[in-house]
Amino acid sequence: MHSTLLVACLLYYAQRCFCADNGMNMTMDGSMELATGQMLPYLHFTLGDTLWFLGWVPQNRGAMLGACIGLFLLALLERWLAACKAIIEVHWNKSRMLAAKQNDSVIPKRNTADRIFRRLAPPFVAAYDLPRGVIYAAQALLNYLFMLTVMTFQLAFIFSLVIGLGVGETLFGRFGLSAHLH
């Protein structure tokens, strides 16, 4: 008697577990609709693509031009940050080398194992390492935003980014290269 009741209860609860739908319809049969239309899975120049947020949907040529100018300027900013980081790194390395020279004249000579470790692992300096982390985080944020922009397949956005990165490298790339040569 108990086993029959146990089997009946298990079947009842098993049915409830597999057939419960919580009132939510999670089927994906319909087309995906965005703010103004459908997401086009190919390269295009049509208006109406969402740029990062639901409210940022260029609906006319002026809005599209503004979005493209903004993306161009963000690409310039990313290249400028890279050049600033390179210049600052060289400055920090020079400061670190000067400090090491001053410390070497005061501190007695160490054995070779200490020197090798010191060359491989520079000390943590908050004044250098925290700004380095902030600059890197800003560059990573911009690069992820660029990736999301390219994923819209909107050619005007993509061309704005590519041209902006090219112009930015032309304007600021030499500072990063020359910083490492000095």
pLDDT, tens digit (0-9, with 9 covering 90-100), for 97-121: 887 777 666 555 566 666 665 567 7
Which residues are CB-contacts of 103 (< 8 A; sequence separation ≥ 6)?
none
Confidence of residue 34 (pLDDT cuts 50, 70, 90): very low
Domain count along the chain? 1
Alpha helices in 20-154 (DSSP H): 61-106, 112-120, 126-150
Mean of per-residue pLDDT scores for the chain: 80
Please check whether residue 60 lies inside any domain of the structure: no
Backbone angles phi, psi at 18, to 5 degrees: -85, -20
Kindly state the average pLDDT of the residues 78-90.
Answer: 93
Please check whether residue 57 lies inside any domain of the structure: no
Query: How far is residue 142 from each of residues 61, 64, 108, 133, 165, measured CA to CA in Å?
Result: 24, 20, 47, 14, 12
Please check whether residue 151 lies inside any domain of the structure: yes
Confidence of residue 1 (pLDDT cuts 50, 70, 90): low
Q: Indicate the residue type of 107.
A: I
Query: How far is residue 61 from each of residues 10, 43, 45, 65, 66, measured CA to CA in Å?
Result: 63, 18, 11, 6, 9
- 111 or 124, which is more confident? 124
> How far is Cα 43 from Cα 27, in angstroms, rounded to an integer?
28
Q: Indicate the residue type of 25.
A: N
Please check whether residue 87 lies inside any domain of the structure: yes
pLDDT of 50 > 70? The answer is yes
The residue segments making up the domain with residue 155 are 81-181
Give which of 102, 97, 156 is closest to 128, Cα–Cα.
Answer: 97
Please check whether residue 164 lies inside any domain of the structure: yes
pLDDT of 36 > 90? The answer is no
> How far is Cα 162 from Cα 141, in angstroms, rounded to an integer?
17
Confidence of residue 3 (pLDDT cuts 50, 70, 90): low
State the sign of the Cα–Cα–Cα–Cα dihedral 145, 147, 151, 156: positive
pLDDT of 23 > 90? The answer is no
